[in-house]
Amino acid sequence: MAPTPPTDAELDVMIRARLASLGIDLDQLPPGTVSDPATGAPGRDSVFASLRSFVRGSVTALAAYQLPAPAGSDPAHAAALSQQPAPMLYPSISSEWRR
């Protein structure tokens, strides 16, 4: 059974904890939704809202993606086949070298 999606409050805790574990303190940003007048940096609540949307959107979509198995292959092998394409940081270069 799929886990229950996190609430806003749970995500806020996760976001704050993840960033704190990297040494990033969100309390550097001004409280609320008003931007810092001196630098233009957004308010903390606005940033939390944007980051929650990012986790629910991009992070979840990427995590859920499974590469398709080649056409004609046995669907039972899809998971194993999807492990085969190599991750490539510079696809243009790697592809040119394969030509």
Residues that bind other proteins (CB under 8 A): 15, 18-19, 22-26, 28-29, 35-36, 38-42, 46-47, 50-51, 54-55, 57-59, 61-63, 65, 67-68, 85-97
Nearer to other proteins, 62 or 76 (CB): 62
Torsion of CA 18, 19, 23, 24, to 10 degrees: -170
- Give the single-character DSSP code of 76: G
Answer yes or no: are the C-beta atoms of 6 and 51 closer than 8 Å: no
Smallest distance from other proteins to CB 10, Å? 14
**Nearest-approach distance from CB 1 to other proteins, in angstroms:** 21
